[in-house]
Amino acid sequence: MTPLQQKRHRELEATLSRAHEQRDEAIRRLVRCDGRLQMLLRTKARLEKAMAKLVPSPVPVSVTAGKLLDAVEAKPVPTPSDDISDIPFSELPIADSLEIPTFLRRSKEADAKDAAAAAAIKAEQAERKKLKATIRKEERAAKASGATKRMPLTGREALNYLKTGSRA
């Protein structure tokens, strides 16, 4: 084969390879789109089924508005009581004064607990800060002494270091 034929052969192989890659990518995209399409169709069907349940049945024409109003039940008004846990917020009685209601007031015990927790968190943060400073100092000292650039010990040297605690 001549050099020109070899060059054309390489170019043909490269073009063929690119065409195969593009075909594989197109197939991957089609498969992904098909999966997404199936998922969306299932979601649409599920939502349409749910919407069909929510749509009220049509009211017969023969029923008058008066009969409809009679059919609607009146909602009982809750009476104010000491236990307000089952009353919705919108239906809570409004106080005449602008003071904070007793059930929303913070107690001195809660304030003390919060202060103690805040002090504990600050102490922990200060301790961590000191620890980080110590680590930075040790790293700086190791870098200055060249300890970070030394090869790790192996074999007998490592055993000697474990026994004596010094490099020798």
Q: What is the pLDDT of residues 12-68, one digit of tens each?
A: 999 999 999 999 999 999 999 999 999 999 999 998 888 888 766 665 555 555 555
Euclidean distance between CA atoms 147 and 139, whole angstroms = 10
Euclidean distance between CA atoms 161 and 166, whole angstroms = 5
In this predicted structure, what is the pLDDT of residue 32?
A: 92
In this predicted structure, what is the pLDDT of residue 35?
A: 92
DSSP result, 123-167 = HHHHHHHHHHHHHHHHHHHHHHHTTTTSPPP-HHHHHHHHHHSS-
Euclidean distance between CA atoms 117 and 123, whole angstroms = 10
Reading phi first (left if > 0) and then psi (alpha if -120 to 50, else beta), residue 155 is in left
Q: Which residue did the predictor score with more confidence, 166 or 77?
A: 166
* pTM, two decimal places: 0.31
In this predicted structure, what is the pLDDT of residue 109?
A: 86
What six digits make up the tokens of 53?
């349940």
The single-letter DSSP state of residue 1 is -
The chain-wide mean pLDDT, for the chain, equals 82
Mean pLDDT is lowest, of 1-15, 86-100, 126-140, for 86-100
Euclidean distance between CA atoms 55 and 49, whole angstroms = 10
Q: Tell me: the pLDDT tens digits for 136-155?
A: 999 999 899 888 888 888 89
The single-letter DSSP state of residue 2 is -
Euclidean distance between CA atoms 39 and 5, whole angstroms = 51
What six digits make up the tokens of 112?
């003390």
